[in-house]
Structure 1
Amino acid sequence: MSDQPRTELTVAILAGGLSHERDVSLRSGRRVAGVLRDQGVTVRVLDVDASLVAQLQEMAPDVVWPLVHGSSGEDGSLQDLLTLLDLPYVGSEPAACRLASHKPVAKALLRQAGLPTPDHAALPQSLFREVGARTLLGAVERKIGLPLAVKPASGGSALGVTVVERSEDLPEAMVACFAYGDEALLEHAVRGTEVAVSVVDLGDGPRALPAVEIVTEGPYDYDARYNPGRSEYFVPARLDEAGTRTVGELAVAVHRTLGLRHLSRTDMILDEDGVAWFLDVNVSPGMTETSLFPQAVQADHASLGDLYMDLVRAAQQN
Structure 2
Amino acid sequence: MSSQFGKVGVLYGGRSAEREVSIMSGTGVSEALRSQGVDAHLFDTGKRTIAELAAEKFDRVFIALHGRYGEDGTIQGALELLGIPYTGSGPMASSLAMDKVMTKRVWLEAGLPTPRYVALTGEGELDSAIAKIGLPAIMKAPHEGSTLGIVKAEKIEDVLPAYRESAKFDDVVLAEQFITGRELTIAILGARETTRALPIIEIVAPEGKYDYQNKYFTDDTRYLCPAPVSDEIAEQVAAIAVRAYRALDCEGWGRADVILDACGNPWLLEMNTSPGMTGHSLVPMAAKAIGMSYADLCMHILADARCKVGHLQSK
**Same topology, TM > 0.5:** yes
CA contact (8 A) 1:21 1:69 kept: yes
What is the match of residue 289 of structure 2?
299
2:263 paired with 1:266: no
Alignment of 1:105-254 (within 5 A): 105-124=102-121, 128=122, 133=123, 135-201=124-190, 204-218=193-207, 219-254=209-244
CA contact (8 A) 1:151 1:177 kept: yes
What is the match of residue 34 of structure 2?
37
Question: How far did 1:172 drift?
Answer: 1.1
1:59-81 Cα distance to aligned partner (Å, 9 max, x none)? 32221111211111111111000
Single out whichever of 180-189 and 228-237 deviates more from structure 2.
228-237
In the alignment, the residues of structure 1 paired with residue 33 and residue 242 of structure 2 have an alpha-carbon distance, to the nearest angstrom, of: 26
1:4-59 Cα distance to aligned partner (Å, 9 max, x none)? x9945321011111111000010000011111111011111111146333433333
Question: How far did 1:205 drift?
Answer: 1.8
**SS of residue in 1 equivalent to 2:69:** helix
**Following TM superposition, where does structure 1 have runs of at least 4 consecutive aligned residues deviating by more than 4 angstroms?**
5-8
- Unaligned runs of 5+ residues in structure 2 are 307-313
Q: TM-score, normalised by structure 2?
A: 0.93
What is the match of residue 78 of structure 1?
75
**SS of residue in 1 equivalent to 2:72:** coil
1:109-147 Cα distance to aligned partner (Å, 9 max, x none)? 1011110000000112xxx2xxxx3x4222122211001
What is the match of residue 312 of structure 1?
302
What is the match of residue 286 of structure 1?
276
In the alignment, the residues of structure 2 paired with residue 164 and residue 51 of structure 1 have an alpha-carbon distance, to the nearest angstrom, of: 40
**SS of residue in 2 equivalent to 1:306:** helix
Provide closer, same or farther for how the CA distance between residues 251 and 93 of structure 1 changes in structure 2, counting only shifts above 3 A. same
What is the match of residue 86 of structure 2?
89
**SS of residue in 2 equivalent to 1:137:** helix
Question: How far did 1:202 drift?
Answer: 5.8
In the alignment, the residues of structure 1 paired with residue 268 and residue 251 of structure 2 have an alpha-carbon distance, to the nearest angstrom, of: 19
**SS of residue in 1 equivalent to 2:298:** helix
CA contact (8 A) 1:211 1:237 kept: yes
CA contact (8 A) 2:257 2:269 kept: yes
**SS of residue in 2 equivalent to 1:114:** coil
In the alignment, the residues of structure 1 paired with residue 56 and residue 195 of structure 2 have an alpha-carbon distance, to the nearest angstrom, of: 31
Provide closer, same or farther for how the CA distance between residues 202 and 107 of structure 1 changes in structure 2, counting only shifts above 3 A. closer
Q: Which amino acid in 2 is paired with 1:299?
A: A
**SS of residue in 2 equivalent to 1:96:** helix
**SS of residue in 1 equivalent to 2:40:** strand
**SS of residue in 1 equivalent to 2:114:** coil
What is the match of residue 63 of structure 2?
66
Q: Which amino acid in 1 is paired with 2:142?
A: A
| Seq. identity, % | 37
Question: How far did 1:99 drift?
Answer: 1.3
In the alignment, the residues of structure 2 paired with residue 240 and residue 253 of structure 1 have an alpha-carbon distance, to the nearest angstrom, of: 20
**SS of residue in 1 equivalent to 2:30:** helix
Q: Which amino acid in 2 is paired with 1:104?
A: V
CA contact (8 A) 1:202 1:310 kept: no
In the alignment, the residues of structure 2 paired with residue 6 and residue 304 of structure 1 have an alpha-carbon distance, to the nearest angstrom, of: 16
Q: TM-score, normalised by structure 1?
A: 0.92
In the alignment, the residues of structure 1 paired with residue 297 and residue 45 of structure 2 have an alpha-carbon distance, to the nearest angstrom, of: 25
1:239-260 Cα distance to aligned partner (Å, 9 max, x none)? 1111111111111001111100
**SS of residue in 2 equivalent to 1:176:** helix
Q: Which amino acid in 2 is paired with 1:98?
A: S
Question: How far did 1:204 drift?
Answer: 4.5
Question: How far did 1:233 drift?
Answer: 0.5
Equivalent residue pairs, number:
306
What is the match of residue 10 of structure 1?
7
In the alignment, the residues of structure 1 paired with residue 86 and residue 188 of structure 2 have an alpha-carbon distance, to the nearest angstrom, of: 17
**SS of residue in 1 equivalent to 2:204:** strand
In the alignment, the residues of structure 1 paired with residue 192 and residue 58 of structure 2 have an alpha-carbon distance, to the nearest angstrom, of: 21
- Unaligned runs of 5+ residues in structure 1 are none
**SS of residue in 2 equivalent to 1:315:** coil
In the alignment, the residues of structure 2 paired with residue 26 and residue 171 of structure 1 have an alpha-carbon distance, to the nearest angstrom, of: 34
